[in-house]
Structure formats: structure tokens, C-alpha cells
Amino acid sequence: MATSLRNAVLAALAVIPTTLSITITSAEVINTPFHSIYARQTCAGDVSCICEVLREALTGTNQTLFPSDGAIYKDFEDINYSAACRLSAACIVSPKNAQEVSTAINILSEAGTKFAVRSGGHNYIPGFGSIDEGGVLISLSSLNSTELSEDKKTAKIGPGSRWQAVYEALVPEGLVVIGGRVGPVGVGGLMLGGGLNYFATQRGLAFDNVKSYEVVLAGGSIVTASADNEYSDLYKGLRGGASNFGIVISYELYTYPVGDFYVDARAYNPNQTSDFLHAFGKYQDEGQSDPLSSVTVQLLETGPTILLLYNKPVQQAKAFDAFYSLESYQPILPAFNGSLLDILALTGSRFSTGEVRTYGETFSHKADVDLMIELYDIFTEETKNLPADASAVWVPNAIPASVATLGKQHGGNLLGLEEVPQQWYEWYITWTDPAQDTAILDLSQRITQRCTEAAKAKDLLLPYLFMNTAGKTQKVLASYGAENVEFIRTTAAKYDPEQVFQKLQNGGFLVRDL
């Protein structure tokens, strides 16, 4: 920012009263800082002015960064996983505690300044965890603590933490929380979207295992929402309603005992794909009834790969007999018994870095082997002529009926899941040339359209769209069903009556888009 504007801001701040106290009914009493008053009176419509106010309000090292700050700003911008999501915000602010998140949202809302909120930056939709020079990026990366309760029954985890760090804190204690399958993924986005995990058959989705949320609301108040307090509707809303209500600054998760796993990573030839998918279907019909078993599948141009996990150290697990019966495979590494941290060392290696751009979409259907094969044929047909720098990955997730059942047993969520075995997809395409962005998006939407039409033709299509892997134009909230949509609308209106998160938030699966 120009020195003259900075000096003007400082001079104006010096003559404004330091605080204006306001009482928030049934919530923590907070102060409206003088920075918010100045933002409202002087900076409306001027994002550069707002950024300078934020720099004065959040005084820690590198808490407010401008593009002119050079390499350190670029490092924060590049946290976004997909290069397509690395937009140049007017400034990036990194609050280090709840009160500073409250201060930031007060300043932005008072001035009517657009913003985006980023936890780990793994979402690959441009504008959801990023924003251009017309707004401010709130980075939650400094809210990255993992605090185990005294009785070790719960852990409070910041949204800016990565699952690698969370598990490194808990696994040595013989404990785990239900969270991400890959270490570099951030906590916040995965928890808001549902969260597939290695314990889903036993425990349900990640957000089905939240005891409480600490949330900064649009007015700056800080509340704790749980199933049995006055914010129980907000607690329920956050189990599917994502970023429509406020900014979650802490997740209190239940902990569970954890030991070593049986780990077996295998690769197959492309000409085995049909047999492999039949084995995958048989596993879902039979082997997945063992709640200690879990599989992670990827279908690549070079052939299928699978990670077999059993939540107990064994030599082999009967749950995986369908895969053992396949005639040949290439071990990615010899089968072993190891910890969750050993598994993360294996899965984290598949994450791209540098200037790789990523985009994908999702859909779901009732489990059916023949349909799985047909859908993969559609995918390979559509992606056979990708640019030379691009690649495509097909990821079917076998979801047992117990995921829906456990969600209901653990207090209920808003996803509207049917209690049937089903497949959720998280296929994606990677590329490096920005000139291909539009073509890849168009191709992705065509893949989704063809696949959903094929599933619908067999009367197997399910309405649910998995938020964590959904695409830019997919109507995730609407897929939950009318009753759940209405609950989200009502709850959002209650906790954000001025529609700050609808009008000013840059992107997301929001009520405004219904």
C-alpha cells in the first residue's frame, strides 16, 4: 500500500475510541474494535484500505501479507493444492486465535469486503478457498494445534492443521480421531464436507464423530455448538451445511484406540481391469461386512492400484479374499504390519506439487459391478485424448450401508443418505497448461453428465453428491433432499441474519446458489 494511504489510516485510527462494547445474547461477550468502525466509515469499497486496517489490527509477524511482500506472500498463496486455485488476493490474513478471526470478520463485514476462507487449501475449485485482487483471503493455517483432553477421550483440533500433524500427535498415545486418509490434507475442509476415512465402516464419516464445534459467527460472536446445548441446531447444520453459518475455528473430536494395521499395496495390469472391478464388487458384497477392513482404489492408465488395510496386525485378512484370488499382481511394496503413520508415508507420496492443476467431480449410485465397468469405460473414452501434460485418475469409493446408519446413530447429519451399499466417485484430471482450463472443465462436466445418465438408465443413480470431491457447478446442498435443504436455509438465516457469508464469501456450496 502507498505510504500516504497507510499514514492516513493510522491517523484516523488514532482518533477513534478504542472499543465499543456490545453484548451477544447467549454467546461470548466480545468487543467491536475501533478498526471495524474505521473500516465501516472510511474504507467501504476500497480493499487496499481494508487490508491496511487488517495489518494494523493483526500485528503479529506475517499476519497480513500483500503481493508486494514478495516470496513470503507467494509461499502463502501457493499453499493451495491446485495451481488453478492460486489466485492473488489483495492481501492474505492469518489470524492466530479465535478473537483475531472475530476481528477479521468484523472488519470485512463492516466494510462489505469480499473474502474467502482457506484451511488446508486442498479444494480444487478456484474461488472456494481463494480469491483474486478484489478481496481478502482468510488463511486459518495458524490455527493448527492438536490438544488432547485430560481424560484423553477427545481432542481439540484447529482447522488449519494437516492430518499428518494430527496423527503424529495422537498415534504415539495409542489414539486416533476419525479424519483424513492422506497426511497433507487440511482438517477444516475435510471435516465440513463429511470426510471419508479408514474407519468409515466402524465409525461413519469424520463429521459424525465431532463432539463440538467452536465457531465465529458473522457478527463476530464466538460460540461452542454441541448436540446438547443451546446451539444444537448449529451443530446439526455443520454436519452437511459447510460454510453457510460461520467460520469453524476448532473441532472437538472423539478419540478411539488404535494399534497397527495390516497394509498391502498392489498394482495390476490394464488388461485386468474388468476382473479387478469384479473383485472390488465382491469385496463390497462380502468382505466389507468386516468393519476392520478398508480399501482405497485408483484406476490409472497404467492399471488399477489398491491399498488393502485391516485394522489389526495379521498375515492376511479373509475380508480381502476377492483380491487374493486374482491371478497376478505387482506389489507396490511387500505387505507389512505398521502404524497409521506408516500408511500416511505411503499415501502422501501420491500428492502432486509445483504447477500441477487439478479438477474433478463426483456422483453416486447403488453398488453394481456391471455399472462400475460401464462407467469406467465412459471415463477412459472421454479422457483418451487428453493433452500430453495431462493425466486422469478414476477413484471409486465403496460405501457400506453402515455409513448412513452410523450417521443417524451419532446424532444425525444432513446428507440424506440411503441405507444401501453405494459407490461415491472422486475422479480427477491433472494438467499444467492454464490454456487448457476451460477445456478440462467442459470435459469434466461431460463425463459427469454421461455417467449420471448411464446410472439413471439402470435405475441405480443416487441423488447424493459428496461435497469433498464435488465440482464447481454441482448442486451439493440440493442433493441432500428438500427437508435438509430447508433446515440449512433456516439455520443460516438464524446465525447470519445479515447474510454476510452469502453476500461476501467468494465461493463455496452456499445457500445463495440453491
The answer regarding whether domain 3-139 maps to CATH 3.30.43.10 reads yes
How many CA within 13 A on the CB side of residue 254?
13
| Residue-level pLDDT at 428 | 96
* Model pLDDT, residue 31: 45
CATH 3.30.70 fits domain 260-338: yes
Residue 75 CB neighbour total at 10 angstroms:
12
Number of neighbours of residue 372 by Cβ within 10 angstroms = 23
- Yes or no: say if 491 and 237 are a contact pair by the CB < 8 Å rule: yes
Instruction: Find the DSSP H helices in 210-306.
Output: 232-237, 273-285
Query: Options 3.30.465.10, 3.30.56.10, 3.90.700.10, 3.40.50.970; which CATH number does 146-257+480-508 get?
Result: 3.30.465.10
Is the Cα torsion angle 366, 370, 375, 376 positive or negative in sign? positive
Residues 6+ apart with CB under 8 A from 451: 363, 375, 378, 379, 425
**Residue with grid cell 457469508, as numbered in its chain:** 501
CA atoms within 13 A on the CB side of 499: 8
341 grid coordinates? 503413520
**CB-side neighbour CA atoms (13 Å) of 55:** 20
14 burial class (0-12, 13-18, 19+ CB within 10 angstroms)? Answer: exposed
The structural domains of the chain, with segments of one domain joined by +, span 3-139, 146-257+480-508, 260-338
Condensed to tens digits (0 to 9), the pLDDT of residues 466-506 reads: 999 999 999 999 999 999 999 999 999 999 999 999 999 99
Other beta carbons less than 10 A from residue 382's beta carbon = 17
**Whether the Cβ atoms of residue 184 and residue 351 lie closer than 8 Å to each other:** yes
CB 213 within 8 A of CB 234: yes
Tens digits of residue pLDDT in 342-380: 999 998 765 666 899 999 999 999 999 999 999 999 999
Write the secondary structure of 456-469 as one string of H (helix), E (strand) and C (coil).
Answer: HHCCCEECCCCHHH
Give, in degrees to the nearest 5, the angle at Cα 133 between 444 and 443. Answer: 10
> 349-353: long-range contacts (C-beta < 8 A, 24 or more apart)?
350/182, 350/298, 351/81, 351/182, 351/184, 352/81, 352/430
Query: What is the pLDDT, as a whole number, of residue 373?
Result: 98
Torsions phi, psi for 94 (to 5 deg): -125, 85
CB 372 within 8 A of CB 396: yes
| Kind and range of the H or E run holding 247 | strand 246-254
Is 35 in contact with 13 (CB distance < 8 Å)? yes
Angle between helices 163-170 and 340-347 (to 10 degrees): 160
The β-bridge relationship of strands 115-118 and 136-139 is: parallel
Burial class (CB in 10 A: 0-12, 13-18, 19+), 183: buried
Instruction: For the chain, list residues with pLDDT below 50.
Output: 1, 9-32
**β-bridge partners, 303:** 300
Assigned C-alpha cell, 12: 484516523
